[in-house]
Amino acid sequence: MDRRAGRTINILDGLRDLKAPLSSGLIILFGFWLIFANDIYAAILGDSIAGDLHRLTDFLGGPATLGLLAFVGYLIGLVLSLHRIVMKIFPLPY
């Protein structure tokens, strides 16, 4: 196996580690969007955190906003997967 194939395999392993937290976090963000879309839209018009986030996304533009959403989704998925790992290591007494 040459060096290039070895690097490709390492990149694919890294993408597998990224895939599960990213997909679960994005699914959770999409679920929140489906549940709270009308409330968020109404809050965007006012002076609130949602309005500040809307102004930030207007400033950043589309590609940077998608990158930010992907990063936040990854962090949410990572925190939830870490929670499951911790619960397996330290089970709660019932």
Q: Has residue 3 been placed in a domain?
A: no
DSSP state of 45: T
Q: With 0-12 CB in 10 A as exposed, 13-18 as middle and 19+ as buried, what is 92?
A: exposed
> Which amino acid appears at position 89 of this protein?
I
pTM for the whole structure: 0.68
Q: Has residue 24 been placed in a domain?
A: yes
Greater pLDDT, 64 or 40? 64
pLDDT at 75: 92
Q: Has residue 69 been placed in a domain?
A: yes
**53: number of Cβ within 10 Å:** 15
pLDDT at 59: 93
Report how far Cα 49 is from the mean position of its chain's Cα atoms: 19
Q: Has residue 62 been placed in a domain?
A: yes
pLDDT at 65: 93
Q: Has residue 65 been placed in a domain?
A: yes
Give the structural domain span for 34. Answer: 18-89
Q: Has residue 23 been placed in a domain?
A: yes
94 vs 87: CA distance, rounded Å: 13
Q: Has residue 50 been placed in a domain?
A: yes
Tally of domains within the chain: 1
Report the percent of the chain where pLDDT is more than 90.
24
pLDDT at 64: 94
Q: Has residue 13 been placed in a domain?
A: no
pLDDT at 53: 85
48 vs 91: CA distance, rounded Å: 39
